Amino acid sequence: NKVWYEYYAGRKPNLKMVIDRRIKNKRPFTSEVCEQIFQQYFIEIPEQKLAEMSQAIKCLVNILQIELGDVDLGMASYETTLESCEKKLNKNPELESLHSIIQTLLDETQKSRARNKKALQKVCSLNNEINQLQNILEKMSGEIYQDSLTGIGNRRGFDKELSHNIAQSRLNHEP
């Protein structure tokens, strides 16, 4: 039984503590108790990690939306400056006004580039974090369908593969 293997291996200190307490208190280990311990220490962990991963991804998406919103606001400011310069140019400005318009355009373009560069760096950083989470999620999804001790597919993996094969069989009109 996986519970006892992990107990003797000592890799799960909380599991060891719970079992040691039961032994010390001379409480019986019925099949129901073993199943409850198994559910608590082996089944719920991937689901809990999955929920944590989902929450982390939601947080990253929110940060990304904020960053992109900031970029959008910066572009709106730049667009307003461009429109203002265009209006000034439509009035046939004098040489001195042209210098001022050009300087304004150069300043705003530099500011916009700096804002966009900073935002791009943040987006790239967030993208890297999302990729890391995706890799962890892919690893976890494999763990959900395999026994961590033997590496052999478990019931969930069997059910998933069975569903897939039935769908393929129906799609290909095979028995």
Divide the 175 residues of the chain into consecutive groups of 10 and give the mean pLDDT of each group: 81 84 89 83 66 76 79 82 89 86 91 85 84 76 70 79 87 86
The three-state (H, E, C) secondary structure of 43-107, written as one string: HHHHHHHHHHHHHHHHHHHHHHHHHHHHHHHHHHHHHHHHHHHHHHHHCCCCHHHHHHHHHHHHH
pLDDT score at 42? 74
Contact indicator for 64, 123 with CB cutoff of 8 Å? yes
pLDDT score at 133? 78
pLDDT score at 103? 92
Mean pLDDT score of the chain, rounded to an integer?
A: 82
pLDDT score at 106? 92
